[in-house]
Amino acid sequence: MSITSKSAQARPPRRAAGSMKRQQTRTAYLFLGLPLLFFLIVRFLPTLMALRMSLFDWNILKEVQPFVGLENYARLAQDDRFLGALKNTALYTVIGVPAQIALGLAVALMLGRVTVLRGLYRALYFAPYVTPIVAAAWVWQWLFSPQFGPVNTFLTWLHIPPQAFLTSPSQALGTTAALIVWQNLGFQIVLFLAGLAAIPRTFYEAAEIDGATGLQAFRSITLPLLNPTMVFSVVTGTISYLQLFTQVVNLNFTDQGGPLGSTMTVALYIYQLAFGRFQMGYASAVTVVLFVIILLITVIQLKFLTRRYDV
């Protein structure tokens, strides 16, 4: 502070403005530098360490950690549990991301028209997002219980035979994905509501004068102008599905990723390898593979989804 006032006195006004700017830039760098340092230490450094560790047969219970080169990666290619987890993770993403975007947009459009009890509706849809995941997973377990679950009771009213849901290897993944979609929906809706509010009303008024139908207006105005929101949703949604962990762990606590590995995700597999079986080297190899997959997908999505619309 004292330096600023001193230099302001010593220099002519115009140059003082320049130095002030430089001063502000310097402060900005300082403030940005601290979090950067933090990120370097807690994010990038461990990532690099994981990269290195993946080249070793690194078991924390062993005193010697021999260098094995790419052996861990070769082992991954033949690991059925890993390949299964990879397939499941892809399935979660393919089911979850489109579902939550479509549902989120639909609900946001409807909420846009609601005028009575508007706040209540919004709060209700947002509630699952702020519910602790663990609690939601346990409620889900009870809802879909083959024995006492209200969902099965409902199905019997419709004369549909009771389903095994989370206890069946063929239905568990879908049921888990449904929980995540339901939980993320609130956040999606908020995003879309904000995106929709940002579209100037005048466009719709102009379209109306031109005689455009509601559907035409939606396709030519709403969707294109929602593109930035859409890109954000797709990219962050995809990343979060690729890192799926907490819901899966809590839906089947004694046989995590089960039954028969049908809900296993890559992130959960990493956790089990590293902290259940202490195979840090092998777990690191899986981490690196997952990192590369996420990076590639994100880059591709950003490249192909982002569009500029001139209106």
Q: Which positions touch other proteins (CB under 8 A)?
A: 60-63, 138, 141-142, 145-147, 152, 162-164, 166-169, 252-255, 258-261, 272, 275-278
Euclidean distance between the first and final Cα of the chain, in Å?
A: 46
Nearer to other proteins, 152 or 222 (CB): 152
Taking the mean position of all CA atoms in its chain, how far away is CA 250? Answer: 18
How near is the Cβ of 33 to other proteins at its closest, in Å? 31
How near is the Cβ of 148 to other proteins at its closest, in Å? 8
- 57, 65 contact by CB (below 8 A): yes
Nearer to other proteins, 22 or 277 (CB): 277
Largest CA distance in the chain: 88
Backbone angles phi, psi at 54, to 5 degrees: -65, -10
Q: What angle do CA 208, 212, 217 make, to 5 degrees?
A: 90
How near is the Cβ of 147 to other proteins at its closest, in Å? 6
- The H-or-E segment that residue 146 falls in is none
How near is the Cβ of 249 to other proteins at its closest, in Å? 11
Nearer to other proteins, 238 or 284 (CB): 284
CA nearest to 109, candidates 197, 203, 213:
197
How near is the Cβ of 255 to other proteins at its closest, in Å? 5
Q: What angle do CA 206, 212, 218 make, to 5 degrees?
A: 90
Nearer to other proteins, 63 or 210 (CB): 63
Compute the Cα dihedral for 55, 57, 61, 64 and give only its sign: negative
How near is the Cβ of 261 to other proteins at its closest, in Å? 7
Nearer to other proteins, 176 or 252 (CB): 252
CA nearest to 247, candidates 112, 140, 99, 87:
140
Nearer to other proteins, 166 or 242 (CB): 166
Q: Residues, the chain, total?
A: 311
Token pair of 96, please?
């979850």
Nearer to other proteins, 39 or 275 (CB): 275
Token pair of 159, please?
């004369």
Nearer to other proteins, 167 or 222 (CB): 167
Token pair of 128, please?
């699952």
- What are the residues whose beta carbons fall under 8 Å from the beta carbon of 112, sequence distance 6 or more? 193, 196
How near is the Cβ of 167 to other proteins at its closest, in Å? 5
CA distance 262 to 80: 12
CA distance 93 to 76: 21
How near is the Cβ of 41 to other proteins at its closest, in Å? 19
